[in-house]
C-alpha cells in the first residue's frame, strides 16, 4: 500500500543554494603561482653555469674610449759604436810579440802585435836576388849598346869623310875633264866612287837606326821585367811588413785577446777598433711593424730629462724569432753618458696623431692585430665573444676600427686559456 508523504515533512532540499563564483581571486592565485614558478625558474637558470667559468680576478678588463692615437712605438735598443774597423789577419804566422791589449785607446799606426814567418823572409830574399840580377843584366846590356853605338858613330864618321873626299875628287876631275886634261873614263870612275860612298853611308845609317830600334825594344822589355820584379818585391816587402800589425785607425781596441806563441791564420778575426765618440742604436722590433718602419723615420731618446733626436738609418728585414733589426743614428747631439752595450728606450714615430677609439694593449685573439674579443655584459658577470677589427698599436694604445662602441668593457688579458668558448661567466 502506497502512502503520500506529508506536506509538512522536512527533506533539506531547500538548503542547497547556488553561490556565484568570484573570478578575481582565481586570477590572482594563478598569477601568484606563475610568478613563483618564473622566479624559481630564473633562480634555477641563474644557478646554472652559462659559458666557460672564469674568475673575475684572473682577467683584466678595459673600457673602449675615444682619444688621440699616437702613432709611435717604444723599442729597447743597445748602443754600438757608429764606426768599427774589423781587424783580420792577412798573413799567417806565429805571434812573437803582443804590444797592445783589449780596451786600450790606440792611435793610427800604433804597433799592435808582431808575427814571425820564415817563409816570407826567404821569399823576400829570393825576390831581392832576382831583382839585383836583372838590374845587373840591364847595366851590362846598356854598356854593350853604348859600345856598339860608339862603333857605329866612328864608322859613320869615316864614311862621311870618305864621301866628302870622293865628292871633292869628282869635282876636280869634272873641271879637268871639261878643259880636256882628263879622260871620260877617269871621270866616270870618280863618279862611280862617289856613288859608292853615298850608298855605304846610307846603308850604315839604316843599319845603325835598325840596331837602335832593337836596342830600345830590348831595353823596354828588360825594364818591364824589372818593373814587375820591383812590384813583386814591394808586395813581398809589404807582406813582411804586415807581420808587424799596426792600427789602421784611432779608436778603442775591442775583443783583442792574442797570446804570445799563438798561431794566426789568414782571414782570422782578431778584434776590432771602435769609435769611442759616436754611437748608433740597434733594436729588435716586432714583425707586426715591419711594413710601417722605414728608413728615415724620426725618433728620440730621453735621458735625464733631455731629448736626443734620431732617425732610422738601416733596416734588416730578415725576421728571426718574430723580430727584425733596425739601426738608428743620432741626428744631432747624443747622450753624454753612453757606452757600448748600454740599453736605451728609443721612441719611433710611425705617423701623425689621429682621433680614434682606443683600447690599452693586450693579448687579443687572432692574427694581424686581433680578430675577436670578449665584450663584458653590463651586469659585469658575463662576457660574449664578438668579432672586431683592430688597427694600429703602440706601447700604450690599440686602435679600434670596428666592432666596438665607446663605453663598452673588453677583456684585454690573454685568451689562450679560453679555448673556443663563445661565452664567459665571470665568477667571484
Strand bridging mode 372-376 / 409-411: antiparallel
Q: Which of residues 9 and 391 earns the better pLDDT score?
A: 391
Task: Pick left, alpha or beta for residue 366 (phi over 0 → left; psi -120 to 50 → alpha; otherwise beta).
Answer: left
User: Would the CA dihedral through 200, 202, 203, 207 be positive or negative?
Assistant: positive
- Return the DSSP state at 57: G
Residue 328 predicted with pLDDT over 50: yes
Specify which of 77-86, 133-142, 239-248 reaches the highest per-range mean pLDDT. Answer: 77-86
> What cell was used for 418?
679560453
* pLDDT at site 366: 56
Residue 145 predicted with pLDDT over 70: yes
- What is the distance between the alpha carbons of residues 175 and 180, in angstroms, rounded to a whole number? 9
Residue 355 predicted with pLDDT over 50: yes
- What is the distance between the alpha carbons of residues 403 and 387, in angstroms, rounded to a whole number? 6
- What is the distance between the alpha carbons of residues 4 and 421, in angstroms, rounded to a whole number? 89
* pLDDT at site 20: 54
Tens digit of each residue's pLDDT (9 = 90 or more) over 28-82: 676 677 777 766 655 554 554 556 888 888 888 889 999 998 888 889 999 988 8
Helix (H, G, I), strand (E, B) or coil at 70: coil
With a CB cutoff of 8 Å and minimum separation 6, the contacts of 422 are: 51, 384, 385
In this prediction, residues 230-258 reach a mean pLDDT of 81
Q: Helices (H), strands (E): how many in the chain? A: 3, 24
The DSSP line for 127-177 is: HHHHHHHHHHHHHHHHHHHHHHHHHHHHHHHHHHHHHHHHHHHHHHHHHHH
Helix (H, G, I), strand (E, B) or coil at 44: helix
- What is the distance between the alpha carbons of residues 344 and 310, in angstroms, rounded to a whole number? 12
Please name the residue that has the C-alpha cell 791564420: 265
Q: Which of 277, 268, 271 is nearest to 247 (CA)?
A: 271
- What is the distance between the alpha carbons of residues 333 and 330, in angstroms, rounded to a whole number? 7
Q: Which of 269, 355, 279, 281 is nearest to 312 (CA)?
A: 281
Residue 4 predicted with pLDDT over 80: no
Q: Is 182 exposed, middle or buried (0-12, 13-18, 19+ CB in 10 A)?
A: middle
> What cell was used for 185?
873614263
Q: Which of residues 366 and 402 earns the better pLDDT score?
A: 402
Q: Where are the alpha helices (DSSP H) in 242-334?
A: none
User: Would the CA dihedral through 348, 352, 354, 356 be positive or negative?
Assistant: negative
User: Would the CA dihedral through 392, 394, 399, 404 be positive or negative?
Assistant: positive
> What cell was used for 35?
610568478
Say how many C-beta atoms besides its own lie within 10 A of residue 150's C-beta: 10
From the centroid of its chain, how far is CA 238?
33
Q: What angle (nearest 5°) sits at the alpha carbon of residue 53, between those of residues 49 and 59?
A: 145
Tens digit of each residue's pLDDT (9 = 90 or more) over 272-305: 898 888 899 999 998 988 988 889 999 999 888 8
- What is the distance between the alpha carbons of residues 378 and 43, in angstroms, rounded to a whole number? 19
In this prediction, residues 146-169 reach a mean pLDDT of 84
Confidence band for 1, pLDDT divided at 50, 70 and 90? very low
Tens digit of each residue's pLDDT (9 = 90 or more) over 5-21: 444 444 555 555 555 54
The angle, 0 to 180 degrees and rounded to 10, between the axes of the packed helices 184-241 and 118-178 is 170
* pLDDT at site 43: 54
Amino acid at each position: 500500500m502506497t502512502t503520500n508523504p506529508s506536506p509538512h515533512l522536512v527533506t533539506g532540499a531547500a538548503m542547497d543554494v547556488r553561490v556565484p563564483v568570484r573570478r578575481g581571486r582565481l586570477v590572482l592565485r594563478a598569477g601568484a603561482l606563475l610568478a613563483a614558478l618564473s622566479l624559481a625558474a630564473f633562480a634555477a637558470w641563474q644557478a646554472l653555469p652559462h659559458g666557460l667559468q672564469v674568475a673575475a680576478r684572473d682577467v683584466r678588463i678595459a673600457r673602449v674610449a675615444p682619444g688621440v692615437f699616437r702613432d709611435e712605438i717604444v723599442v729597447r735598443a743597445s748602443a754600438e759604436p757608429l764606426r768599427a774597423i774589423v781587424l783580420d789577419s792577412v798573413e799567417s804566422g806565429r805571434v812573437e810579440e803582443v804590444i797592445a791589449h783589449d780596451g786600450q785607446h790606440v792611435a793610427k799606426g800604433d804597433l799592435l802585435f808582431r808575427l814571425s814567418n820564415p817563409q816570407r823572409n826567404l821569399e823576400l830574399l829570393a825576390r831581392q836576388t832576382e831583382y839585383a840580377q836583372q838590374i845587373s843584366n840591364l847595366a851590362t846590356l846598356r854598356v854593350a849598346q853604348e859600345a856598339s853605338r860608339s862603333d857605329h858613330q866612328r864608322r859613320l864618321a869615316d864614311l862621311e869623310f870618305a864621301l866628302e873626299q870622293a865628292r871633292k875628287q869628282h869635282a876636280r876631275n869634272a873641271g879637268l875633264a871639261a878643259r880636256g886634261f882628263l879622260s871620260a873614263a877617269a871621270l866616270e870612275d870618280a863618279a862611280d866612287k862617289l856613288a859608292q860612298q853615298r850608298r855605304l853611308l846610307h846603308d850604315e845609317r839604316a843599319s845603325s837606326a835598325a840596331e837602335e830600334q832593337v836596342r830600345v825594344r830590348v831595353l823596354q822589355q828588360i825594364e818591364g821585367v824589372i818593373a814587375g820584379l820591383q812590384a813583386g818585391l814591394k808586395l813581398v816587402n809589404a807582406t813582411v811588413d804586415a807581420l808587424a800589425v799596426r792600427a789602421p785607425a784611432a779608436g778603442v781596441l775591442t775583443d783583442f785577446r792574442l797570446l804570445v806563441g799563438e798561431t794566426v791564420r789568414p782571414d782570422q778575426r782578431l778584434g776590432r777598433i771602435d769609435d769611442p765618440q759616436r754611437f748608433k742604436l740597434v733594436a729588435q722590433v716586432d714583425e707586426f711593424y715591419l711594413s710601417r718602419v722605414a728608413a728615415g723615420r724620426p725618433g728620440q731618446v730621453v735621458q735625464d730629462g733631455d731629448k736626443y733626436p734620431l732617425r732610422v738609418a738601416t733596416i734588416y728585414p730578415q725576421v728571426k724569432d718574430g723580430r727584425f733589426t733596425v739601426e738608428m743614428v743620432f741626428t744631432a747631439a747624443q747622450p753624454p753618458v753612453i757606452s757600448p752595450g748600454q740599453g736605451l728606450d728609443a721612441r719611433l714615430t710611425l705617423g701623425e696623431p689621429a682621433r680614434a677609439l682606443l683600447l690599452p694593449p693586450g693579448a687579443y685573439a687572432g692574427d694581424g692585430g686581433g680578430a675577436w674579443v670578449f665584450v663584458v655584459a653590463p651586469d659585469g658577470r658575463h662576457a660574449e665573444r664578438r668579432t672586431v677589427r683592430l688597427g694600429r698599436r703602440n706601447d700604450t694604445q690599440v686602435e679600434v676600427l670596428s666592432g666596438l662602441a665607446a663605453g663598452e668593457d673588453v677583456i684585454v688579458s690573454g685568451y689562450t686559456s679560453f679555448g673556443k668558448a663563445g661565452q664567459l661567466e665571470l665568477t667571484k
